[in-house]
Homo-oligomer: A and B are copies of this chain.
Amino acid sequence: MKEKSHLLLKEQLCFPIYATSRMVTRLYQPWLDKLGLTYPQYLVMLVLWEEQKLTVSQLCKRLYLNTNTVTPLLKKLRDKGLVAKERSTEDERTVHIELTQKGDKLKSQAEEIPANLVEAIDMPLEELKQMRELMWKFLSKFD
């Protein structure tokens, strides 16, 4: 008897996560355009709106991203005048990131986004929450 392959697309975890992630990015696009932010830049801003000030490595940890991704992102955000970078005096290896006034102000423009997205996605709120919780649980394995 020939064994059934486990490589069917429908059975994979890799594929729907990947496709869903990109699809969500597309849904955010029109709103992020209004803010003049790319998707990863928006994620950095989300953290900063919550934390006010942290180091590059703390930011990396929060986002599960490497410095070689975050450093150029921060450069772009600084060029837009949204964040400020300052090398620490106690430990000169670390760099502190904080919002500028302009960066802080952008938050109020972003407040409308979550509700609009939920509407665009058109799925029961309960299911979205479930997805979110399962993924946070997944991510917690890698802290």
Contacts and interface: CB of A to CB of B under 8 A. Distances in A.
Copies of this chain, whole number: 2
A5 B127 contact: no
A17 B20 contact: yes
A14 B40 CA distance: 10
Which range contains the number of A residues in contact with the other chain?
35 or more
Contacts of A64: 19, 22-23
Contacts of A130: 130, 134
A76 interface: no
A138 B24 CA distance: 10
Interface string A45-86: 011011000000000001111000000000000000000000
Given A8-B50, A9-B50, A130-B134, 12 more contacts: A6-B111, A11-B114, A11-B132, A15-B46, A16-B136, A17-B21, A18-B21, A19-B139, A20-B135, A23-B64, A23-B139, A122-B141
10 closest Cβ pairs, A-B complex: A21-B21, A16-B135, A19-B64, A6-B114, A20-B135, A131-B134, A17-B21, A17-B24, A16-B136, A9-B46
